[in-house]
Chain A
Amino acid sequence: MSTVKSFRVLPGFNLTLGYTLGYLSLLILIPLSAVFLKTAELGWDEFVAVVTAPQVVATYKLSFGASLLAAAINAVFGLMLAWALVRYSFPGKKIVDALVDLPFALPTAVAGIALTALYAKNGWLGQYLEPLGIKVAFTPLGVLVALVFIGLPFVVRTVQPILEDLDTELEEAAASLGAQRWQTFRHVILPILLPALLTGFALAFARAVGEYGSVIFIAGNLPYVSEITPLMIITKLEQYDYRGATAIASVMLLFSFALLLIINGLQAWTAKRTGRDR
């Protein structure tokens, strides 16, 4: 036995590691492996046939495309919202701050119905958009609107604390060195916010990919046009095609996992490049 024992300030490393692994297994790994086990009941050829059916492929495109776009929109406007909340004081600021979290609390079906009512042909907003040739409800655009809605809080809440810590002295230093406003933002503020922004983006994206409730109401669910992948899975389930449902789910899982891995890698890379990882 070694005579030197290292002491940590906080004990229980083994306990927490064991707990973490057990917890992760129970909640994530076991249920997810069940997906793959069930899928395995299909043969390879049958699996390929199910997941590459044209109608299914169309849903991948919509789900992942709209989710990425929604996350990108949320990154831009979430940053602006966080900026306004941190840097300015205006009447009702606390209320706006609380409103940001509402998409989390609202049952997604309620959000979906509300958005549909708003954007439908005779809705409050829809009636003005329709004559302009912009159709929102029952189109891919509607899907995007719903996904932007439910993903809004992520970027705001990840960027906000970093912005609060951001010293205004840095901006003053940049200005005293002759930097224009845009340059200060681009070269001083954005690099500091980027890791948090990417985290928010990844969360908003992950949430959007898995979203079901709010989308199905506004999407209209036209085959090849406005069907999302989760809907495809539900449809299969309703037809008691469990193996088909899990097959599509497993493709979706792998794809999401790969994308999240890439985003995390990107985040680690920016952190390292900017010297925070040393």
Chain B
Amino acid sequence: MSIQVKNIHKQFGDFTALDDISLDFPSGELVALLGPSGCGKTTLLRIIAGLEQADAGQVLLDGEDASSTHVRERQVGFVFQHYALFKHMTVFDNVAFGMRMKPRGQRPSEAKIRDKVHELLKLVQLDWLADRFPSQLSGGQRQRIALARALAVEPRVLLLDEPFGALDAKVRKELRRWLRKLHDELHITSIFVTHDQEEALEVADRVVLMDHGKVEQIGTPEEVYRHPATPFVYGFLGSVNLFHGRVDGESVRVGDDTLAHQTSDLAHGAEVVAFARPHELDIDTDPASTAGIAARINRILAFGVTARVELDGINGSTGQHFEVEITRQRVLDLGLTDGQDVRLVPSRLKVFEKDGATG
């Protein structure tokens, strides 16, 4: 089932949580709402679920306006960050809850409920825990039970609010992969909220990036990572190196140094911020070279296949830190040592006009 939100606005006192948000979630996709805490992503999810009311705007479920329907009529499965399992019920009773609460006419027989619960528990691979209480389960198990409970009422959409937020790193990774697999089996339209970019990029079909109550970019993980539309998106998805400078024809001048830059739809002399990811920078050890940014090697961390080189800017970009990722072999070939003066040459550079959005 498709979900659309139109011109959603939500205000908490003086704080604008959502500012005129319009989004389309096509049927059967797994979409991530990604952004830093306080960006409004959870509020948006809760408005879609009906747990919160928007001040203005509409939520359309399957093309029908659902803005005025109560959460219990919207048929959405909601999974909470802290599971919200009923502690006084066994796992079985938790999963059966939704079916047992149906009006008498629509309620399945106990035998049917039992079959369905076991089917769902098998789906989340926890059939053997049916008689336990939530307090006896691990965090990862609890979240899978919460998911089974949400699926028991055959929801039209599945909404997950930071589903892995309370879990430790290893379980998180496992569950992430598992959720993706589950979605591929069920094909139920799902939206999950996260502040973890890795999680969003790894699991989702599409990523919606939000900041300060506004949508910054929508796209596949590949698109948003490779072609960030705004400085915020660039900075949020992975580590970056920033260069503050001024457009000068075919290049960007950073202090006394210059960075080559092809596309110049930017006016001459415009203040810009140039971004490059650590793996998009190379190191030039030739002392006679004038291309790139002068920097001094501070530390070389070479224990994996890729080595990380940390540098401090000198000339013009003094006080700034840079990070470069190159192969270990390249570090050895160049004979890099701590304290050495080198130049940083980007293989790819993304330039944004400075508007105060990003430092």
Query: Chain A: residues with CB nearer than 8 A to chain B?
Result: 167, 169-170, 172-180, 183, 187-188, 191-192, 274-276, 278
Q: Does B84 contact A (CB under 8 A)?
A: yes
Q: Are A172 and B136 in contact (CB under 8 A)?
A: no
Partner of A187 from the list B76, B101, B133 (CB cut-off 8 Å) is: B101
Q: Are B86 and A276 in contact (CB under 8 A)?
A: no
Q: Are B97 and A187 in contact (CB under 8 A)?
A: yes
**14 other A-B residue contacts (CB within 8 Å) besides A179-B98, A180-B72:** A169-B82, A173-B86, A175-B51, A175-B70, A176-B49, A177-B72, A177-B150, A177-B152, A178-B98, A178-B102, A179-B72, A187-B86, A188-B86, A275-B133
The B189-230 residues at the A interface (CB cut-off 8 A) are none
Query: Chain B: residues with CB nearer than 8 A to chain A?
Result: 49, 51, 70-72, 75-78, 80, 82, 84-90, 97-98, 101-102, 133-136, 149-150, 152-153
Partner of A170 from the list B75, B86, B102, B153 (CB cut-off 8 Å) is: B86
Chain A neighbourhood of B88, CB < 8 A: 191-192, 274-276
CB distance from B137 to the nearest CB of A (A): 11
CB distance from B103 to the nearest CB of A (A): 9
19 A-B residue pairs with Cβ-Cβ distance under 8 Å, sorted by A, are A167-B82, A169-B80, A169-B84, A173-B80, A173-B85, A174-B86, A176-B77, A177-B72, A177-B97, A177-B98, A177-B153, A178-B72, A187-B97, A188-B86, A191-B89, A274-B88, A275-B88, A275-B89, A275-B134
Name the residue of chain B whose CB is nearest to the CB of A181.
Answer: B72
Q: Are A170 and B90 in contact (CB under 8 A)?
A: no
Chain A neighbourhood of B152, CB < 8 A: 177
Tell whether A172 pairs with B71 under 8 Å between CB atoms, given A177-B149, A276-B87, A278-B136: yes
Q: Are A179 and B97 in contact (CB under 8 A)?
A: yes
In whole angstroms, how far apart are the Cα atoms of A180 and B97 in the complex? 12
Partner of A176 from the list B78, B90, B135 (CB cut-off 8 Å) is: B78
Tell whether A175 pairs with B135 under 8 Å between CB atoms, given A169-B80, A188-B86, A275-B87: no
- Most chain A CB inside 10 Å of its own CB: which residue of B71, B77, B86, B134: B86
Q: Are A167 and B153 in contact (CB under 8 A)?
A: no
In whole angstroms, how far apart are the Cα atoms of A170 and B89 in the complex? 12
Name the residue of chain A whose CB is nearest to the CB of B103.
Answer: A180
Chain B neighbourhood of A169, CB < 8 A: 80, 82, 84
CB distance from B302 to the nearest CB of A (A): 45
- Which 6 residue pairs of A and B lie closest in terms of their CB atoms, listed nearest first? A275-B133, A274-B88, A177-B98, A173-B84, A169-B84, A179-B101
In whole angstroms, how far apart are the Cα atoms of A142 and B3 in the complex? 61
CB distance from A181 to the nearest CB of B (A): 9
Chain A neighbourhood of B49, CB < 8 A: 176
Name the residue of chain B whose CB is nearest to the CB of A169.
Answer: B84
CB distance from A228 to the nearest CB of B (A): 38
Chain B neighbourhood of A178, CB < 8 A: 72, 75, 98, 101-102, 153
Name the residue of chain B whose CB is nearest to the CB of A173.
Answer: B84
- Most chain B CB inside 10 Å of its own CB: which residue of A175, A178, A179: A178
In whole angstroms, how far apart are the Cα atoms of A188 and B86 in the complex? 7
- Most chain A CB inside 10 Å of its own CB: which residue of B82, B97, B149: B97
In whole angstroms, how far apart are the Cα atoms of A178 and B149 in the complex? 12
Chain B neighbourhood of A177, CB < 8 A: 72, 97-98, 101, 149-150, 152-153
In whole angstroms, how far apart are the Cα atoms of A22 and B82 in the complex? 45
In whole angstroms, how far apart are the Cα atoms of A278 and B51 in the complex? 33
